Amino acid sequence: MKRSGLVWLIVLIGIAGLVAGAYVFRGELATRLVERVAARGLQQSLAAQLPDGLHAVFCGTGSPLPDRSRAGPCLAVIAGGQLLVFDAGEGAAETLSLMGVNPGDINVVFLSHLHSDHFDGLAPLALQHWATGAAEAPLRLVGPTGTARLAAGLNEAYAIDAGYRTAHHGPEVMPPAGAGLSAEEFAVPAGADAIVLRDEGGVRVIAFPVQHAPAEAVGFRIEYAGRSIVVSGDTARSDSLARHARGADLLVHEALSPRLNAIVQRSAVESGRANVGAILHDILDYHTSPEEAGAVAQEAGVGALALTHLLPQTPIPGLAATFERDARTTFGGPVWAMRDGDVISLPRGGGLRRSHHLRF
Ligand SMILES: [Zn+2]
Ligand SMILES: [Zn+2]
């Protein structure tokens, strides 16, 4: 064997030895990284990294249909030292934590309507609010008619768990008064087209009716420092939404792709899942297509359009891009199909910046 061949053989044996060693000791190596990862997770605060302004934090861009990459509907807004959460679908609390947002810092959770995909992450969020903040008062929940009944039911369901946790950790770590949710209901008065839900520290939140019957549903407009975000909630194409979105910097709109939905519906029927097929047919009349969302954005003259609550689910890379393409046929501004972990920042004074903050 030539000398250079021998050197290569020794190098290869060395590399193989290192790889084998790393494999055998992988558990030990991972354990040594835990301290660094845990410290980073506990010390990093998303809010501390953002400039003064209005920030849309996408803590759940999914729908009721199963998708491991998307939590249920959730949008957090950071502005003026406040943390407001709009809807809390399944996985919202986990996604917020993985983005460096401490649920203990939440001021209020607003519900757009009482479909379960918009609130089935509430109980974990209330637990995290209590546990991570040693909260002395329950998590504030503001929603349409029925919100008090929902909160009372969840509080009752989690009462045994709350008792165990206070008993185990003590009342200083888990103050009994901080468990669960406190509810406030609102209704847009007859004859009015909106209601102010919050006006504090320069942050203003209004709610206005949208079209999602039989659910009583609203969208939201959030304003701070001359910047504005409008959130559709769940709705069919809505004139009320277009009116309230006028001139907003960012419109966060739900989207259902009729073309993709038809494909999934057909395959459900062909697989003998007639009930799934019927549900996929029925949802068409109370959601908005990407083309319609684009038309609303165009009519309202918003600065940018962020699509969320994507229906059906998008398990194949590139599929979400079809939502953007369809919305661009009707809207001339920037369009993005959002992912969990994305943040759109509207700094005081102008501009728009997108970033991504999912840590794991
Ligand atoms: Zn809904
Ligand atoms: Zn929904």
* Judgement on whether residues 29 and 96 belong to the same structural domain of the protein: no
* Judgement on whether residues 22 and 72 belong to the same structural domain of the protein: no
Cα(300) to ligand 1 centroid in Å equals 23
What would the two tokens of residue 224 be?
């701070």
Helices (H), 134-257: 147-157, 159-169, 239-244
* Judgement on whether residues 29 and 87 belong to the same structural domain of the protein: no
* Whole-prediction pTM: 0.91
- Tens of pLDDT, residues 199-249: 999 999 999 999 999 999 999 999 999 999 999 999 999 999 999 999 999
* Judgement on whether residues 38 and 139 belong to the same structural domain of the protein: no
* Judgement on whether residues 58 and 23 belong to the same structural domain of the protein: no
Residues sharing a CB contact under 8 Å with residue 12, sequence separation 6 or more, in sequence order: none
Give the integer Cα–Cα distance in Å for 104 and 220: 23
Give the total number of structural domains in the chain. Answer: 2
Please check whether residue 202 is in contact with residue 224, taking contact to mean a CB–CB distance below 8 angstroms. Answer: yes
* Judgement on whether residues 110 and 156 belong to the same structural domain of the protein: yes
Residue 117 a catalytic site member = yes
Could you give the 3-state DSSP secondary structure of residue 111?
coil
CB atoms within 10 A of CB 27: 7
Give the integer Cα–Cα distance in Å for 246 and 230: 9
The mean of the pLDDT values for the chain is 93
Cα(113) to ligand 1 centroid in Å equals 7
Residues sharing a CB contact under 8 Å with residue 330, sequence separation 6 or more, in sequence order: 291, 292, 294, 295, 297, 298
Taking ligand 2, which is a single-atom ion, which protein residues have CB atoms under 5 Å away? 117, 234
Enclosing domain of residue 2: 1-43
HSE, CB side, 13 Å, CA atoms: give it for residue 307. 33
pLDDT tens, N- to C-terminus, the chain (360 residues): 677 888 888 889 888 888 888 788 888 877 777 777 776 666 679 999 999 999 999 999 999 888 889 999 999 999 999 999 999 999 999 999 999 999 999 999 999 999 999 999 999 999 999 999 889 999 999 999 999 999 999 999 999 999 999 999 999 999 999 999 999 999 999 889 999 999 999 999 999 999 999 999 999 999 999 999 999 999 999 999 999 999 999 999 999 999 999 898 999 999 999 998 998 888 988 999 999 999 999 999 999 999 999 999 888 888 999 999 999 999 999 999 999 999 999 999 999 999 999 876
Estimate to the nearest angstrom the gap between the alpha carbon of 309 and the chain centroid: 9
Cα(36) to ligand 2 centroid in Å equals 37
* Judgement on whether residues 70 and 35 belong to the same structural domain of the protein: no
The CA-based angle 31-32-35, given to 5 degrees, is: 95
* Judgement on whether residues 30 and 60 belong to the same structural domain of the protein: no
